[in-house]
Amino acid sequence: MKGSLAAAMVAFRDADPEVELVFASFAGEEQGGVGARAAIDAGFGPDYAVVGEGSTGYSAPGVTDVAVAHMGRRGSTLVAHGESAHASEPEAGENAIYRACDAVDVVRDLDAPTATVLGQELRGSVAVTEIEGGSAWNVVPDRCAVTVDERTVPGERADLERAESVPGVEWVVDQDLPPMACDDADFADAVLDAARTVQDGDPRHVAKPHATDAGWLAAAGTTCVVCGAAEPGEAHTAEESVAIDVLVRCERLYRGVAESI
């Protein structure tokens, strides 16, 4: 992604556009998009954006594609409350772990949402990923917390509120990273045309499973696509890298978009 940032900087320097061209770099994407959100709150709102997150290798190895949609992530916690008692007299209390298990059963029965954006299908998911509760082996627990990871799609969410139908259970949203859907087919096609002119492969419109700052921009009214350098399987690894020829390709692609819109 830092390689895409460098490619965008060079493209910004060298492009000769007929429209106003803005270069922006945001910090804190991994911390909930704090940089993008701060910029948006301060009035940043371009009409169109090419977000330089990775899109290489989706349709075929080595091909830099154009992502017209991506999933979001909603992280939440189901908190089950009960009443403590000695484990030798469990009926004297209310077991919070039992209530949490009932809430987990509700989550297991939920349908994961789906959406289609410019011909690309996104299929969300809902999964329980952590559970914490209890204070001692001989105490009926009065609290149990369950972490839920939900991958969201544009326009749809899983009905996690249903878990609150279990007595003593509350649902708390901890993080909600929005999905992205490009709302302008002509813009998506223009970026794809630029991608085709700078590589031998056959780039496609694709959908990304990962949330990016494009989600915040799209939610604020900017028409977005995601297009950038990446090496499949290397994201967030200690040895993450990207090929120089892919960086050159992205610089030419970004400059071509800037000069053709």
CATH of the domain at 90: 3.30.70.360
Query: Do 155 and 34 have their domain in common?
Result: no
Mean pLDDT along residues 203-224: 96
| Shared-domain flag, residues 90 and 147 | yes
- What would the two tokens of residue 243 be? 């090929």
Which are the contacts of 256, defined by CB distance < 8 A and separation ≥ 6?
194, 197, 198
Say which residue the tokens 């000769």 belong to: 16
Q: Both 163 and 122 in a single domain? A: yes
Average pLDDT over residues 144-157: 95
Residues 67-80: tens digit of each pLDDT: 999 999 999 999 99
CATH number at residue 255: 3.40.630.10
- Domain termination site, one of 136, 156, 177: 177
Q: Is the pLDDT assigned to residue 235 strictly greater than 80?
A: no
Q: Choose the final residue of a domain: 177, 201, 227.
A: 177
pLDDT in tens, 22-52: 999 999 998 899 999 999 999 999 999 999 9
Task: Give the lowest-confidence range in 11-20, 214-223, 236-245.
Answer: 236-245
Closest CA relative to residue 140, chosen from 203, 96, 187:
96
pLDDT at 241 over 90: no
What is the mean pLDDT of the segment spanning 16-25? 93
Please report the pLDDT score of residue 156 as a whole number: 87
pLDDT, position 175: 94
Judge if 17 and 145 occupy the same domain. Answer: no
Instruction: Single out the residue in 138, 156, 177 at which a domain terminates.
Output: 177
Domain span including residue 20 = 2-71+179-260
Domain count, the chain: 2
Q: What is the pTM of this model?
A: 0.88
Torsion region of 46: left, alpha or beta (phi above 0 gives left; psi -120 to 50 gives alpha): beta
CB 47 within 8 A of CB 223: yes
